[in-house]
Amino acid sequence: MEKAGWAYYSSGADDEITLRENHHAFHRVWFRPKILIDVTNVDFSTTMLGSKSSVPFYITATALGRLGHPDGETVLTQAAGKHGVIQMIPTLASCSFDEIIDAATDKQTQWMQLYVNSDRETTKQIVQHAEKRGIKGLWITVDAPQLGRREKDMRSKYDEEVADVQDEDGGEVDRSQGAARAISSFIDVSLSWKDIAWFKSITKMPIVLKGVQRYEDVLLAVEHGVEGVVLSNHGGRQLEFSRSSIEVLVETMAALRARGWQDRIEVYVDGGVKRATDILKCIALGAKGVGIGRPFLYAMSTYGVEGVSKAIQLLKDELEMNMRLLGVTDLTQLNPTFVDVRSLSAHNSIPADHLSLTVYEPMTVPKFKTASKL
């Protein structure tokens, strides 16, 4: 990958503590498997937002695909179609929205992630066009009224053609502080709960709020009649010291079950997912599905469609193996009794993950020149 692409994809906010915590949190959840179960036939297919999926994960929205591969997001589309995986199309894709739709087969399910434009007429046109093109869900990002300080990215200038930033006024683009800031000036900072009713008035697509970080807001989402939420801290790219999604998931499901609301909304999570064991922990705790972003970007950037397809197949193989080892043959059999979460909130108790630490790239240290003698 080019340096600018790696910096944009891999960067987190501030000191990247949240970025690492997203991954580390899964290491504090342990399994409680059953034994002597007939696990000859394992089925890990599921339904998300009413659409069938071959797996309990989806390719979540990630911007600027062409920073990693010349064919951009259509690479993800092709691999998703091959495996029956749902793809979420990003607002800030390098490819046009219609290019990504056209790359899909008739049988594929695609969702749309939306950064809300301060010009609501523009937003309305985007949403209604997506619905006409057959999009099956509107996922509204709610955790980014202002971009986090992603310093790896900010240290590189964004010299590529600007993605569809929805800026019809042709305003100036700030190319001096990385890709993220160059493409996001249009985002509406006034977005609030009162806007949910407006979205429901302009589309019949199911609405999901992406970026919820406390159970109280999940309860509000139920009261506002949205179909789903994504517990997410934006991959550790927004508010530093946000808790991991799986930690928020535990208290969210407890709050929903206490009110008998667990069937009134679908709960999804993303951030830090690298293995099928991570996915199964989320499903056991009550998540409907899991979003995966960076792993597929890296697979795409290195090996194109074959790389993403291989990554999906690896996760499928891991799902089958780990479901057998857990003693379940269907995702509906998973429940909180299969996991021990007593260490989850102990943020200082993390098993060392040498594999992750060897590939993690910290902020580069500047090279100092030796002072010449006077």
* 146 assigned binding-site residue: no
* 54 assigned binding-site residue: no
CA angle (93 as vertex; 4, 20 as ends), nearest 5: 55
* 141 assigned binding-site residue: yes
CA angle (350 as vertex; 347, 352 as ends), nearest 5: 150
Nearest to 249 by CA among 274, 293, 280, 227: 280
* 259 assigned binding-site residue: no
* 237 assigned binding-site residue: yes
Nearest to 268 by CA among 112, 60, 93: 60
* 232 assigned binding-site residue: yes
* 234 assigned binding-site residue: yes
CA angle (152 as vertex; 150, 154 as ends), nearest 5: 65
* 215 assigned binding-site residue: no
User: What residues are annotated to the active site?
Assistant: 234
* 61 assigned binding-site residue: yes
Distance CA 166, CA 158 (A): 18
* 115 assigned binding-site residue: yes
* 62 assigned binding-site residue: yes
* 3 assigned binding-site residue: no
Q: Which residues are CB-contacts of 5 (< 8 A; sequence separation ≥ 6)? A: 64, 67, 68, 301
Take residue 245 and report the two structure tokens written for it.
């999604």
Distance CA 188, CA 18 (A): 25
Nearest to 283 by CA among 321, 339, 234, 229: 339
Output the known binding site for glyoxylate: 8, 115, 150, 234, 237
Output the known binding site for FMN: 61-63, 113, 141, 210, 232, 293-294
Output the known binding site: 8, 61-63, 113, 115, 141, 150, 210, 232, 234, 237, 293-294
